[in-house]
Structure 1
Amino acid sequence: MSLSPGTTGATVTTAVPARLDRLPWSRWHWTVVIGLGTVWILDGLEVTVVGNIAGRLSESGSGLPISSAQVTGMAAALYVAGACAGALFFGWLTDRFGRKKLFLLTLAVYLAATALTALSFSTWWFFVFRFFTGFGIGGEYAAINSAIDELIPSTFRGRVDLIINGSFWLGAIGGSLLSIVALDTDLFAKNVGWRLTFALGVVLGLVILLVRRNVPESPRWLFIHGRGEEAESLVTGIEDRVRDERGGTELPPPAGEITIHQRKSIGFVEIARTVVRSYPRRTTLGLALFIGQAFLYNAITFGFGAILTTFYDVPTGSTGYYFAVIAAGNFMGPLLLGRLFDTVGRRLMISSTYLLSGILLFGTAWLFDRGSLTATTLTACWCVVLFFASAGASSAYLTVSEIFPMETRAMAIAFFYAVGTAAGGISGPLLFADLTESGKVADTVLAFQIGAALMCLAGLVAAMFAVRAERRSLEDIAQPLSAVRPRAGAAV
C-alpha cells in the first residue's frame, strides 16, 4: 500500500477489498456470522413474544391495564417507530465513527430497554421502553448489515446475508415456544410469565455481546477513514488465520487495487444527494422492496395470533404452536433459496420471490374469503407464502447494503429501513390491528390483499431495476465516493 504524506486526506492505493473478497470460507467468517448475525434472533424473539402475549397482557391480573389492540397496535407501532429512529441515528454514527463501536453500543441499548420492559408497571412505561427497544434494534440493522457485507467474501455475500436476516425466524420460533411455557398459569402467575420472556432476551443479548467483542472493525471503513495501516495489519492477520486453517496453503492473488482519498466523514447532504441523484433507479428499488415486505410482515403476519383467536377460537395460550410453524417456513426460505441469489442471480431471484409470495397471498385471501380454511390449513398456506416472502424480504436488506457507495452504506440501510418500515410498519399495525380483530372476514381479506398487491408491485420493480450484484466486489457494484479513478467494471 502506498501513502502520500499525512493521514487523513492522504491518497491511498490498497488491495484490502480484493484481499477480503478472495478469501475462502473459514472459522473466522463463522465468528463474524455468530457475533453479528445472531441479533436477528433477538429481534424475532422480541416481535413474536409481544404478538403472542398480547392476549395475556390484556387479561385481568397481568399487572398492566392494557388491551390486546394496544399491544398489537400502539406498542407495535412504537417499537417500529423506535427502530426507524434508531436506524437513522445510529446509521449516521456508524458511517462516521465505525462499525464496531456502534454494533456494541446498539446492543447495549437493546439490553437496557428490554430489561426495563420486563419491569413494566404501567401502560406508559411499557410503551416507552418498547420504543427504546426498537431504537436499539434499528441501530443494529444499520451497523450489522454494513459490517457483515464488508467482511464476507463476495462469493458468499448473498447467501450469508439472506440466512442471517432470515435467522429472525429462529428467534420467532423460540419466542412462540417460549410464550407457550410463559403463558402457562400452572407454571407462572399471569403477572410473571410474560416478564420472563423479556428477561430471556436480556440473557441471550449478553451472550451475543461477549462473542461480538471479538469481531473486528471493517477494514474497508478503516482505510477510507485515515487508518490504512491498521486495515492492512488487520487483513494480514485474517489471512494468516485462514492459511493456518488450510494447512499453510497459499491464498489466490487479490484481483486488483483501488485508489482513494482518505477522509474522516461525509456530510448528510452529500449522502442524500448520492443516494437520490446518482442512483435514482436503485433508490426506487430499495423503497419498493422495503415497503412491500414491511406491510406484509409488520402489518399482517404479526397479527396472525389475533386472526387465529378471532376467527378460529384458538386459545391465546396455543397460538404459539401455529406461529412456530409459519416461523419455520420463514427460515427455510432464505436457508434453501439463499445460494441461488449468488448463482442464478439477484434480479431473477428477488423479483420471483416477491411476485410468488404476492400471488400466493392473493390465493390465500380468496380461500379465506370462501371459508375454505381452518386454523391448520391457513397456517399451511401462510407457510408456503412466507417461504418465498422471507427470502425476498431478506434480499431487501442485502440489496440496499451492497448497491450504494461504501461511505454511505450504513446510512443507506438506515434510510430505506426507516422509510419503508415507517410506511408499512407504523401505519400497518395501526390500520390492520382493527381489520384483523374486527371479526369481519372482509376486513381481514382486505388486509391480505393490500399486502399481496404491494409485494407484487415490488417484484415488478425488482424485475426492472434490480442490480446484478452476485459475486461482485462491493467497490465494483458502487464505486466509493472517495475513489480517485474508476475501477474496471464499476457500476454507474
Structure 2
Amino acid sequence: MSGRVETGRITTDIPARLDRLRWSRWHWTVLIGLGTVWILDGLEVTIVGSMSDALKPDRTGLGMSAFDIGLAGAVYVAGACLGALVFGQLTDRFGRKRLFMITLGVYLVGTVLTAFSMNPMWYFACRFITGTGIGGEYAAINSAIDELIPARYRGRVDIAINGSFWVGAAGGSLLTVLLLDKSVIPAELGWRLAFGLGALLAVGVLFVRRAVPESPRWLFIHGREQEAERIVSEIEETVRRETGQELGTVSGTITVRQRKAIGIGLIARTVFTMYPRRTILCFSLFVGQAFLYNAFFFTYGDTLTTFLDVGQTGWYLAVFAASNFLGALLLSPLFDRVGRVRMISGTYVVSGLLLAGTGLVLGSVSAVSLTVMGSIIFFFASAGASAAYLTASEVFPMETRALCIAFFYAIGTAVGGITGPLLFGSLIDHASAHHDISAIAIGYFIGAALMVGGGVVEAVLGVHAEGRSLEDIARPLTAEDEDSDTVDTGRAGAPALGTA
C-alpha cells in the first residue's frame, strides 16, 4: 500500500489562478491539440458505416459478409469500452499528458494497420486496436480539457468540442462520396485511402498535442507542486503576452494531502458511496443519449436505402451531421449562461418528444422529410449528449475524473453500440420483410422514453456546476475539509480521505 501513502501537505492557489485566466490563443492551442479526437471518431464511424459494400467483394475488398461487417462494428465498440476503462484508470494514476499521447498513438497505429488489411481477421484486430485508442482518448482528453479551461468557459467549450464529432462525421460522409466512386478512384484503393486520411490527420494532431502541458491540478495532488507552479507561471505569462492585459489577483486556496497514487478500489468505493445521486444521474444521461443515437442515427442509412430508395446516402448524412454540430456549437454558451440543469433537462426532453413524434408519422415520410425531422431532433440532442460527457467530467473528484468518464462512457457505448444494434437491426429486418417502415418505430419510442427519463432525472438530481471551480463542485479526495460529514446533495463537495 506504499503507493497510497501520504507524501506531504500543501496549500495552493493553482485552481483559482487557472480559473481566472482570460481567453487567449493558448487556450485555442489546447482545444486544437486535444479536442480533435472527436473529429477523428466521427470520421472513423462514418467512413466505416459508409463502406460496407466496398468491403464485401473478394477482389477489391476483403470478402466480408454482412455479418462480418456487423461483427467488426461490435469489435470496435468492445475495444472502445476496454480502452476507456484501462486508459481511464491509467490517466488518473500516471497523468493526463502521458496518456493522451499514448492513446492517440494507439489510434494511429490501429488506423494505419487497418488500411493494409489483407483479410477479415486482420481487419477485426485492427478495428479493436483503433477502438481501444479512441476509448482511451475520451477519458484522457475530457479530464485534461476541463482541468485547463477556466470555469466560466468550461461548459460551452466542452459541449462544442464533444459536438465536433459531427464535423468528422460530415467530412467522412462527403469523403466517401468521392473515395467510393469507382469512376474516380479504383475500388480496391478507395476504402484504404479513407483510413489513411484519418491517420494523416492524427499525425498532425500528435505534433500540436506535444505543446499541451500536463494538468497542474493533477501534478500538485501527486506531489509535483514545483512542476505545477512552473507550468501555471508559464501559462500566465503567455496569457499576459497574448492578451496584453494584466491578470487579476486571486485569494482562493485549497489544502491537499499529496499522494503518489490512490487505489482503484478506494476510488470506486468513495465515488459510489459519497455520490450515489451523481452516479444515477450520469448513468441516466449516458444510457439515454446512447439509445437515442441508435434509435435514429445508426439505423438512418439502412432506413434510407432499404425503405426510401436512396442510392447514395453520403449527402443526407452530411446534412444530418451538420445539424448536430450546429446544435452543439450554437446552444453551448447557454449551458454556462442559463445553467446546466435547465439546458440538459430541456435538450433531453425536447429531443425525446420530437423523436416520439417522428415515430408516430414514420409510415408517411420521404428521404427529405426524415432528414429534416432528424436534423431538428438532433440539433437539440447533440448538445444534450455532449453535456453528458461534461457532467461526468466535472461532478466527481479530481482523482477519479478520468476513470468516471471512462466508466460512464463504457456503459453508454456498450448499451448503444452492442445492445442497440442488435435490437434495431432486428427491427429493420422485420420491417423489411413486411415492407413496412413503421415497424421500426418501436426503436424510436424506446429512445424517446429514455431521453425524456434522462431529462427528468437531470431536473431532479442535476448539479448546478456553471461558473464554479471543479474543486468547489467536488472537492479532491485528498483535500483538507473541515466538514467531514459532507453528503451528496448535488452542491457540496466530498470529504477528504483519511491519512494512510
Which category describes the TM-score, using the shorter chain as reference length?
over 0.9
Q: What is the identity, as a one-letter code, of the residue corresponding to 2:7?
A: G
Judged with a 3 Å threshold, the aligned counterparts in structure 2 of structure 1 residues 39 and 310 are, in CA distance, closer, same or farther, namely same
Q: What is the identity, as a one-letter code, of the residue corresponding to 2:135?
A: G
What's the secondary structure of 1:129's corresponding residue? helix
Distance 2:351 2:202 in 1: 32
Distance 1:128 1:458 in 2: 35
Q: What is the identity, as a one-letter code, of the residue corresponding to 2:427?
A: L
Does 2:293 align with 1:297? Answer: yes
Judged with a 3 Å threshold, the aligned counterparts in structure 2 of structure 1 residues 165 and 224 are, in CA distance, closer, same or farther, namely same
Please name the residue that 1:444 is paired with: 440
Distance 1:189 1:485 in 2: 65
Answer whether contact 2:115 2:196 (CA < 8 A) is retained. yes
> Structure 1 residues 153-162 or 477-486, which shifts more?
477-486
Which runs of no fewer than 5 residues in structure 2 stay unpaired? 495-500
Judged with a 3 Å threshold, the aligned counterparts in structure 2 of structure 1 residues 91 and 431 are, in CA distance, closer, same or farther, namely same
Answer whether contact 1:61 1:190 (CA < 8 A) is retained. no
Judged with a 3 Å threshold, the aligned counterparts in structure 2 of structure 1 residues 284 and 490 are, in CA distance, closer, same or farther, namely closer
Q: 1:283 aligns with which of 272, 276, 279?
A: 279
Distance 1:93 1:157 in 2: 24
Please name the residue that 1:427 is paired with: 419
- How much has 1:431 moved relative to structure 2? 2.4
Q: 1:353 aligns with which of 347, 351, 354?
A: 347
Q: Which runs of 4+ in 1 moved over 4 A?
A: 486-490
Please name the residue that 1:217 is paired with: 214
What's the secondary structure of 1:250's corresponding residue? coil
Q: 1:28 aligns with which of 22, 26, 29?
A: 26
**Deviation digits for residues 407-450 of structure 1, max 9, x if unmatched?**
00000100111122212221112222232344142432122222
Q: What is the identity, as a one-letter code, of the residue corresponding to 2:174?
A: L
Distance 2:319 2:482 in 1: 49
Q: What is the identity, as a one-letter code, of the residue corresponding to 1:243?
A: R
Answer whether contact 2:397 2:476 (CA < 8 A) is retained. yes
Alpha-carbon RMSD? 1.6
Judged with a 3 Å threshold, the aligned counterparts in structure 2 of structure 1 residues 397 and 35 are, in CA distance, closer, same or farther, namely same
Answer whether contact 2:362 2:438 (CA < 8 A) is retained. no
Please name the residue that 2:234 is paired with: 237
Answer whether contact 1:107 1:137 (CA < 8 A) is retained. yes
Distance 1:65 1:25 in 2: 52
Please name the residue that 2:368 is paired with: 376
Could you tell me the TM-score, scaled by structure 1's length? 0.95
Please name the residue that 2:457 is paired with: 461
Q: 1:263 aligns with which of 237, 246, 259?
A: 259
Does 2:361 align with 1:367? Answer: yes
- How much has 1:27 moved relative to structure 2? 0.7
Please name the residue that 1:322 is paired with: 316
- How much has 1:59 moved relative to structure 2? 4.7
- How much has 1:65 moved relative to structure 2? 1.8
Q: 2:48 aligns with which of 47, 50, 53?
A: 50
Q: What is the identity, as a one-letter code, of the residue corresponding to 2:323?
A: G
Does 2:327 align with 1:333? Answer: yes
Could you tell me the TM-score, scaled by structure 2's length? 0.93
Please name the residue that 2:95 is paired with: 98
Answer whether contact 2:115 2:195 (CA < 8 A) is retained. yes
Q: What is the identity, as a one-letter code, of the residue corresponding to 1:130?
A: R
Answer whether contact 1:300 1:432 (CA < 8 A) is retained. no
Q: 1:410 aligns with which of 402, 409, 417?
A: 402
Please name the residue that 1:491 is paired with: 493
Distance 1:449 1:60 in 2: 39
Which runs of no fewer than 5 residues in structure 1 stay unpaired? 1-6
Distance 1:465 1:276 in 2: 15
What's the secondary structure of 1:184's corresponding residue? coil
Q: What is the identity, as a one-letter code, of the residue corresponding to 1:14?
A: T
Distance 2:58 2:354 in 1: 39
**Deviation digits for residues 188-207 of structure 1, max 9, x if unmatched?**
22222111111100000000
Answer whether contact 2:54 2:61 (CA < 8 A) is retained. no
Answer whether contact 1:41 1:171 (CA < 8 A) is retained. yes
Q: What is the identity, as a one-letter code, of the residue corresponding to 1:367?
A: V
Please name the residue that 1:136 is paired with: 133
Please name the residue that 1:226 is paired with: 223
Equivalent runs, 1:150-161 vs 2, <5 Å: 150-161=147-158
Residues matched between the structures, number: 480
What's the secondary structure of 1:459's corresponding residue? helix
What's the secondary structure of 1:262's corresponding residue? strand
What's the secondary structure of 2:256's corresponding residue? strand
Distance 2:471 2:235 in 1: 20
Distance 1:60 1:441 in 2: 32
Does 2:196 align with 1:204? Answer: no
Please name the residue that 2:498 is paired with: none
- How much has 1:61 moved relative to structure 2? 4.1
Answer whether contact 1:48 1:302 (CA < 8 A) is retained. no
What's the secondary structure of 1:261's corresponding residue? strand
Please name the residue that 2:497 is paired with: none
Q: What is the identity, as a one-letter code, of the residue corresponding to 1:362?
A: A
**Deviation digits for residues 99-118 of structure 1, max 9, x if unmatched?**
00000000000001111111
